Amino acid sequence: MLTGKPLVLAVVTVVSILGLGVETRLAGDINRGSFPKGFVFGTASSAYQYEGAVKEDGRGPCIWDKFAHSFGKVLDFSNADVAVDQYHRYNEDIGLMKDMGMDAYRFSIAWSRIFPNGSGQVNQAGIDHYNNLIDALLTKGIEPYVTLYHWDLPQSLQDRYNGWLSSQIINDFAMFAETCFDKFGDRVKHWITFNEPHTVAIQGYDVGIFAPGRCSVLLHLYCKAGNSATEPYIVAHNMLLSHATVFNIYKKKYKLTQRGSVGASFDVIWYEPETNKTEDIEATQRALDFELGWFLDPLMLGDYPSSMRTRVADRLPVFSADQKALLKGSLDFVGINHYTTWYARDNQTNLLGVLLKDTLADSGAVTLPFGSDGKAIGEKANAIWLYIVPQGLRRLMNYINKRYGNPPILITENGMDDGNYPLVPIKDALKDEKRIKYHHDYLESLLAAIKEDGCNVKGYFVWSLLDNWEWIAGYTSRFGLYFVDFNNNAKRYPKDSVLWFTNFLNSTS
């Protein structure tokens, strides 16, 4: 068990960094030099949360445009029509990354900027925009890591055949992906097909709180359409086959000349058994099976976990022999989005499953960030689900190491949020010592997994460079290293964590 060293912050003289006189702090015990040579540090974003410009240069609508403009779907009734306006301000933001010393930028390509109707005619203005973004990154020495699908399905495909519920989408996604390989692959060497397919399946099709907002809980009182017991499994199945199809296209047609890699990013809460009882330990494994294993088992081992096949039975789609062969081994690297750790215990009554009839109950595990005694597993951030448990990252890395044969891993997202408090002066909102400690402690846990346990981790991406539009939380949640003043032309201000990372990334001993 990793105990974690106390955060060492050495206060040094006031200097000018990023054009501002500020008190800097150094991570005295770990820095870039602590990590293996070539380890990549970057920040992460997504098109819908960052770009804005939703009606410019031929972009077509996506499912989140419709969802965010539907009454009551977003906590603060906001939308991402402007977001942080990175569509127009990417050069400014690239400069911020460069000044910090970041190596890479993970961003997503909006499908409906390339194909406004999801398929058919390519929109040249969209191609031009991402060419300009990629070139600007490389000019500054920042490597692009590109996500192809970060939840923003073209609305036309949802309207035409229900999007991910139809196997027709496999061909349309493959066409979109291959267009990106063709247009950008001479410079983009790191591709992520999907961001958090588990989140798409559960939040979009089980509980219905994300686009496209389908579910059957509460007898359709919340969602107008959907089936929470079956649709998440169908969506996940089609996303898995879409990934494998695209991986195969890249391998056969582009890899030899472009020499890039293709992976996917999976959201993973690490689960600790609430007690040492056998039934709770087994429930913890099932919780992991129904989250990470649901996607990584088919891609690494060729089929769904046996616990899913047993418990879901005929509601779980079946892969053909050819599909299993296509799926198995279709990852050059594993992307992991990890923020928090929860407890798991056996759901002995299964009352939840009887009432809801949904995929969340199928695992037979109750997962919560606090125990039966009401005590939280760690210190809480702002989000209701995010509790700070750094050692969970090390344990997760070791789990992947042992279960899947130590594949190359990128931590494609890690971070914590503060609340958005309009009455707090900006100068006070920039003091984010809690975020500094979060990143320090999670990086220290990751370093132990690499150096002491031999886990094959190749990079770490902070979520996020900027405060941004956080899906159903709107602008109420601030994950950024930079504070964004949404009331003043989205002006960027460096938080103390920017200065911490600047010192971390520019120290090697």
Name which of 503, 408, 499 is nearest 22 in CA terms.
499
Q: Which 8-state DSSP code applies to residue 40?
A: E
Residue corresponding to tokens 């086959």 = 241
Calpha distance 369→387 (Å, rounded): 7
Calpha distance 405→399 (Å, rounded): 10
Structure tokens at 438: 């979060």
Question: Exposure pattern of 134-164 as b/e (b: 16+ CB <10 Å)?
Answer: bebbeeeebbbbbbbbbbbbbbbbbebebbb
Would you say 263 and 299 are in contact if contact means Cβ atoms under 8 Å apart?
Answer: no
DSSP-derived 3-state class of residue 382: coil
**Active-site residue 196, yes or no?**
yes
| Longest distance between any two alpha carbons in the chain, whole Å | 65
Sign of the torsion angle spanned by Cα atoms 222, 225, 228, 231: negative
Calpha distance 7→82 (Å, rounded): 37
Strands 457-462 and 40-44: parallel
Axis-axis angle for helices 231-253, 197-205 (nearest 10): 150
What sections of 123-196 are H helices per DSSP? 124-139, 155-161, 168-184
Name which of 335, 292, 297 is nearest 190 in CA terms.
335
Calpha distance 380→387 (Å, rounded): 4
Would you say 264 and 336 are in contact if contact means Cβ atoms under 8 Å apart?
Answer: no
Tell me the one-letter amino acid at 361: A
Question: Among 51, 196, 231, 291, which one carries the catalytic annotation?
Answer: 196
**Active-site residue 92, yes or no?**
no
Please state the separation of Cα 423 from the chain's center in Å: 30
Question: Among 51, 413, 444, 470, which one carries the catalytic annotation?
Answer: 413
Name which of 208, 315, 292, 300 is nearest 247 in CA terms.
300
Please state the separation of Cα 109 from the chain's center in Å: 14
Question: Which residues are within 8 A (CB) of 180 and not within 5 positions of it... i.e. 6 or more apart?
Answer: 109, 114, 146, 148, 188, 191
- Residue 462 φ then ψ, to 5°: -80, 130
Sign of the torsion angle spanned by Cα atoms 92, 96, 97, 101: positive
Name which of 232, 345, 373 is nearest 285 in CA terms.
345
Strands 387-388 and 365-368: unpaired
Residue corresponding to tokens 């911490």 = 500
Catalytic residues: 196, 413
